Structure formats: C-alpha cells, structure tokens
Amino acid sequence: MAVPIKHVLGILVDNLRIRESVMPLSRRRSIGWAKGLNIPKGGKTVIYTGLMYQLMPSIIAMEKMTSKFADSWISNFYGLGRAINKVISITPFMTWTDAAEKEIFDRILRNIAKLLQVADVDFGYLYEEELYAGALVHDEGINDVFEAHTHKVYKRLKKHNIEKVITVDPHTTDMLKSVYPKIIKDYQLEVKSYLEVLAESNLHPVKRIEQDIVIHDSCVYARYEGIIDQPRQLLENAGAKIIEPLNTKKMTYCCGGPVESLFPIKARTIADNRIEQLASVGKNSVTMCPICFINLKTAAEKNDFSVKDISDYLVEAYCDH
C-alpha cells in the first residue's frame, strides 16, 4: 500500500485555500525568529521569508509520519483526516515538531537578517502579514488554487506599497521572480535573493573562513534562476576554498527533497546518492536551500560529514558578534 497521493495533496491544498499556508503555523512560529533584531514593519524593501525555513520542522515531521504509515492500515484514514481538516486543522497533530529543529531554522533566518544589516541594506519585514508563496502547490500542478493564492500574495505586497523583496530561499525566489510575473498582469516587483544582494554589497569579512568547503548548488537557484557565482564569491572573499563535487553548478544533483512529502523513501535514496558524491571530495559541505539542507543533513548523519547552511558560514565571516 503506497501513500495516498490524492489525500496528502488534498490536505496541503485545503490548507492553502482555507488557511493561506500548506501547513498552518502559529504567529510565534512564523515571526519568532525576528525577535530582538529591530526590523521595522513594512517599507519599500522587505525581507521575504515566504515561511519556507519556518515550515521545515513541520515538513520533517510530516515526512517522518508518512514514512511510518506508508504501508500500514493507518494510511486508509488519510481521507477521513482530510475531511476533518477542512473543519479543524489537523496539521499541528500530524506534524509535532522538535524545539531544537525549530531553533536551527530560526537561527538561519536571523543570520540572513544580520548579514543584510551589516551590509547596510535598508529593509523591513511584514511580520504576521507575510504569506507563503505557494511553491509546493505550484510544483504539484494544482494550478487553479495556486493562481488564486498568487493574487492574494501580490495584493498583500501592494497593500504595503512594497517595491522590492529580498528572498531567503530558492523556491520563494523562483515563485516571486519568475512564476508570478507569468500569472499576474502588470506585475511590478523587484525580486532578489539575499545572496545576490550581499554579493552586490560592499561586505568585508571580519574573520577568515579557513576551510575547504564542498558546495552543493540548489537545482532551483542553479538551473531555474542562474544563481551560481554569488555564493561562491561570498565564501571565497572570506578565504574559503570551494571544492566542486562531481555534479555542480548547472549540472548539480537533486537532494531528493521535492518528493519528501509523498515518497520519503525515494527522497532518502536520492539524498544518500548526493551525500556519497559530496563526501567523496571533502569533509564539510554548504547548502543554500532549506530543503537541501535538511535532506542532506539527515542523510549525512551516518557519515562523518558536515552539512551547513551558507548563512552559518557567512555570519561567522562577515558579522562582528
């Protein structure tokens, strides 16, 4: 018995339609990371998290549950779960998350905001008004619901007179930069990944990274958006030696993450294959996407191999603590 694709997708799409996110998050979960950073509300330029990093602990929990129940009698009840979820959100019960995992993803967002502050970028944040950009529903081909959601997101941005967004992950970057303009007429929004913004700034390292780092490009950054040089430039400027694995840049190899919600076992195999490639050329690796990060980090647990988000390296090199 396989995972019931229809019901898993149904729960995600119902959540987006009813609760504006594939997995609803509490206010604290969504914006808690920004506490103490004194980021103003709104502004012409905003950091746009698209809730991707905040969603990761829930996605991990869902993947664990899907793996556990994929071949059990419990999978017969996904349909019932979906029916209940339309009335009462069951996602928090399906995705019981770990505090330590939440802290890792909050730290990454804090790193990114600190780096933008050190680079003298003038930016605000929409806090609880920020919406998920809809990448998962778009990728699964639920176009009708996705399109309706894009209009909600754009309307929200325009309500706050936002002209430029700085994205923090490849999936939200691709949505806002390349997918939304094909759907929304007269779309006017400048979209840049924080890696592009930092690479164009005058950031100077305060500490050198004395390490050889194996780089793992995100498929979406490299093949969809052509963001390849910026992470290398930022790491090399701080003294890191970049090691290119077998599949790299435009020929990068997927982390398996895109199928983790429906086929966690297949996702794990892909991640294991990628870890084998990365670990054959070094001991420390860097990722720049929350999905790559968690998939590869989990796969690397059995190896003596480190997987770090790029912001962890950059904050050490460019921010004076």
Partner 1 sequence: MSKVNPDFVVKISGFTEFNAFACMNCGSCTALCPMGIDLLPRRMFRHVMLGLEDKVLENTENVFSCLLCKMCEENCPKDVPIVENIKSIRWYINREIFKLGKG
Residues of this chain that interact with partner 1 (CB under 8 A) are 2, 5-6, 9-10, 13, 17, 138-145, 219, 223-224, 250-251, 253-254, 256, 258-259, 262-263, 266, 270, 273
The nearest distance, CB 43 to partner 1, in angstroms, is 33
Q: Which is nearer to partner 1, 5 or 74 (CB)?
A: 5
Quote the distance between the C-alpha of residue 163 and its chain's center: 22
Find out whether 60 and 97 touch, Cβ atoms under 8 Å: yes
Q: Which is nearer to partner 1, 13 or 314 (CB)?
A: 13
The nearest distance, CB 117 to partner 1, in angstroms, is 34
Q: Which is nearer to partner 1, 179 or 197 (CB)?
A: 179
The nearest distance, CB 258 to partner 1, in angstroms, is 5
Q: Which of 214, 126, 133 is nearest to 170 (CA)?
A: 133
The nearest distance, CB 236 to partner 1, in angstroms, is 25
Q: Which is nearer to partner 1, 57 or 264 (CB)?
A: 264
The nearest distance, CB 90 to partner 1, in angstroms, is 17
Q: Which is nearer to partner 1, 5 or 84 (CB)?
A: 5
Label each residue of 191-255 as H, E or C.
EEEHHHHHHHCCCCCCCCCCCEEEECCCHHHHHHCCCCHHHHHHHHHCCCEEECCCCCHHHCCCC
Find out whether 79 and 23 touch, Cβ atoms under 8 Å: no
The pair of three-digit structure tokens given for residue 118, joined into one six-digit string: 């050190």
